[in-house]
Amino acid sequence: MASFECPIPISDYDRITLAHGGGGRLTHRLITKLFLPLFSNEYLQRLHDGAVIPSDGRMAVSTDSFVVSPYFFPGGNIGDLAVNGTVNDLAMCGAEPKYLTLSLILEEGLLLKDLWEILATVKRRADEAGVLIITGDTKVVERGKGDGIFINTTGIGSVAEGVHVGPERIRPGDLIILSGPIAEHGIAIMSVREGLEFETPLRSDTMNLWPLVKAMLDVSREDVHALRDATRGGVASALNEMARSSGLGMVIYEERIPLKEEVRGACEILGLDPLYVANEGRFLAFVSPDRAEELLQAVRAIPGGEEARIVGEVVEEHPGTVVLRTAFGGSRVVDMLSGEQLPRIC
Amino acid sequence: MASFECPIPISDYDRITLAHGGGGRLTHRLITKLFLPLFSNEYLQRLHDGAVIPSDGRMAVSTDSFVVSPYFFPGGNIGDLAVNGTVNDLAMCGAEPKYLTLSLILEEGLLLKDLWEILATVKRRADEAGVLIITGDTKVVERGKGDGIFINTTGIGSVAEGVHVGPERIRPGDLIILSGPIAEHGIAIMSVREGLEFETPLRSDTMNLWPLVKAMLDVSREDVHALRDATRGGVASALNEMARSSGLGMVIYEERIPLKEEVRGACEILGLDPLYVANEGRFLAFVSPDRAEELLQAVRAIPGGEEARIVGEVVEEHPGTVVLRTAFGGSRVVDMLSGEQLPRIC
């Protein structure tokens, strides 16, 4: 993992002030002394309020604001989510991530060293994902009007010819691939909030999903019908949204859904249903049944996809509804999450 | 001005709750019952986490987070800024604004009717500017961890062939056009914060600058060298940034800078230098001297540009420095804003 040395000396006590957001000398310093050396590239270097990029064909665009609390958590920080989350939204459009914008809302008093650590993480993840940070913005709000740091990233990716991914392409009979064990991100956040400690530390599953998606598209662009990452609201909400958008029914099999033993235990302690717990590095793919096994193997060959499984199928019955077949042979409707289960999980 | 009827009944007491940001049923309702009917277009309708747009040639990208306080102010609200501000950043790249993303960070307890009014403003301004809202995101933070509403918009525009706008194209001898009277946005915000009342109400200057820029580019793509809107930090900071980026000196003439009498008075009462006060609908253009008059007339022919003037010139002397020639024949260096003058002005 690359490490980045801070270009200016930062003490343990240096903090963000309102003047860092005022558009004057301190804003200029923050940008030219801290942000530019770290993210340095031809677009940012021009110091304009926007970037001009070459483009051709179809571009995917996605935006996400990250407000996760706490902003450092087991397995990552808000910077990991800010890159991976938006990169993943592009991947879910079947798009190769290319560019990111980075917009910060900082609370007065944020430790500069925390900001640096988060930005260095953004840089690391962006490099790994092969995306360039092309333009940005920084605002500062008074103490008590924010919560340390909120980050918005907007991503732009390119969609290759022949790739058409979307809920309208889902067909009855499609199989549903889940890319890995569920509920780890949400449980990692909740356990630190609740001060719980486990023998095996629970870590966020945040990761870049594009390599897994690319592996599938390399097998067949035609047979990958739809993709959805299972973030806020978990696998249950993602399935429900896809059932509603496609106007079809979904059936999933409880015993096929990968779930680590320690995560299951933590869910029980916290009173949470793992199907509703947020993931930041897991997705569902709706694929042609005749190529499903091949597509599954492609995902499993990529690091982070080893535990992928076929967990269910698309049916004509009960349109718009998701049904879970339990290990004991029963079945129940898996509805959308009703209330707020895990606020500020991403 | 188009008005939009709210598609669901909202009482004066309905408020945003944490569950509206949880990714479950209430999030889904907020999006499908409120956002979708208002912003309805082919991209949003797909309810995916991203949008796929056609593109060709060079695209400009810009991002901005808006945290203005208060979020309703004389002459507009945060929704006006969220559209105009990002549209203007694209215009400053010489790009025709095409698409916007819209990301909301709402504080628990925000009145739903306020949210609706702001979103209806976003819709109105987006329609006027001819931009489509193609994808979005909504997060909710607990009471006391935000401040009503923060909005991020990221804009995508297309840059026509032959348009090359940027500080590196500024030449000694270029003339500087200022598009209208200054300091109105900042003073409108400050006067409401300070509870000041004036005989003539002071209103924000927020407006879409693309029609003015387009008028200039229609006269000559070659002779418009660089553009900069004078937002945070005002005309002084914008000029300083351009002086530094171009490595040239700038001279401006005090008596040529348009400033309304009531704004001058308010600045005196508030102890503010109008050169440093934020504008949300004013820009500087750096243009070839031999076409400057023609370009100026093009701007003046467009509503909102009637009071544009040539206010200064670019020189080889004092590189990186801005000098103001006063009405009395003196001159002084106009430096970057040092501290925080007006926090949360946009």
CA distances from B275 to A272, B198, B207, B267, B284 (A): 56, 21, 19, 10, 13
Judge: A52–B59 Cβ closer than 8 Å, yes or no. Answer: yes
Question: Domain ends where: B159, B185, B203?
Answer: B159
pLDDT tens track for A232-247: 899 999 999 999 999 9
The count of structural domains within chain B is 2
- Asked, for residue A314, whether it belongs to a domain, the answer is yes
Judge: B62–A135 Cβ closer than 8 Å, yes or no. Answer: yes
Task: Return all residues near A252 (Cβ < 8 A) that are at least 6 apart.
Answer: A176, A235, A239, A311, A312, A322, A323, A324, A325, A334
State residue A79 phi and psi, 5-degree precision: -65, -40
Residues of B in contact with A56 (CB under 8 A): 55-57
- In terms of Cβ atoms closer than 10 Å to its own Cβ (0-12, 13-18, 19+), residue B2 is exposed
Residues of B in contact with A22 (CB under 8 A): 232-233, 337, 339-343
Judge: B61–A340 Cβ closer than 8 Å, yes or no. Answer: no
CA distance A55 to chain B (A): 5
The answer to whether A215 touches A300, Cβ cutoff 8 Å, is no
pLDDT of the residue at B327 = 86
Judge: B166–A46 Cβ closer than 8 Å, yes or no. Answer: yes
Judge: A60–B52 Cβ closer than 8 Å, yes or no. Answer: yes
Confidence band of A138 (pLDDT split at 50, 70, 90): very high
What tokens were used for B189? 């915000």
Judge: B141–A156 Cβ closer than 8 Å, yes or no. Answer: no
pLDDT of the residue at B28 = 86
For residues A264 and A150, membership in a common domain is answered with no
- Asked, for residue A86, whether it belongs to a domain, the answer is yes
What tokens were used for B6? 């709210």
pLDDT tens track for B282-306: 999 999 999 999 999 999 999 999 9
The answer to whether A175 touches A318, Cβ cutoff 8 Å, is no
**Percent of all residues in chain A with a pLDDT value above 90, rounded to a whole number:** 82
For residues A149 and A205, membership in a common domain is answered with no
Residue B111 DSSP one-character state: B
Considering only CA atoms, which of B332, B242, B323, B339 is closest in space to residue B285?
B242
Considering only CA atoms, which of B83, B237, B247, B263 is closest in space to residue B181?
B263
Judge: B135–A48 Cβ closer than 8 Å, yes or no. Answer: no
Residue in this structure with the two tokens 């249903």, named with its chain if needed:
A273
CA distance A169 to chain B (A): 12
For residues A175 and A320, membership in a common domain is answered with yes
Position A342 pLDDT exceeds 90: no
Structural domain boundaries enclosing B323? 167-333
- Asked, for residue B344, whether it belongs to a domain, the answer is no
Residues of B in contact with A51 (CB under 8 A): 60-62, 93
Biggest CA pair distance of chain B: 67
**What pairing do the DSSP bridges indicate for beta strands A95-107 and A149-159?**
antiparallel
The answer to whether B298 touches B287, Cβ cutoff 8 Å, is no
- Asked, for residue A327, whether it belongs to a domain, the answer is yes
What CATH number does residue A264 fall under? Answer: 3.90.650.10
The answer to whether A278 touches A346, Cβ cutoff 8 Å, is yes
pLDDT of the residue at B239 = 97
Closest Cβ opposite residue B101 in set A61, A229, A341: A61
For residues A148 and A179, membership in a common domain is answered with no
- In terms of Cβ atoms closer than 10 Å to its own Cβ (0-12, 13-18, 19+), residue A185 is buried
Question: Domain ends where: A140, A159, A178?
Answer: A159
Q: How crowded is the C-beta side of A246, counted as CA atoms within 13 Å?
A: 32
For residues B151 and B205, membership in a common domain is answered with no
Question: Domain ends where: A107, A141, A159?
Answer: A159
For residues A131 and A213, membership in a common domain is answered with no
Q: How many CB pairs under 8 A join A and B?
A: 297
What tokens were used for A129? 């994902």
- Asked, for residue B345, whether it belongs to a domain, the answer is no
For residues B124 and B235, membership in a common domain is answered with no
For residues B132 and B271, membership in a common domain is answered with no
pLDDT of the residue at B46 = 75
Q: Spell out, as residue ranges, where chain B has pLDDT lower than 70.
A: 1-2, 47, 339-341
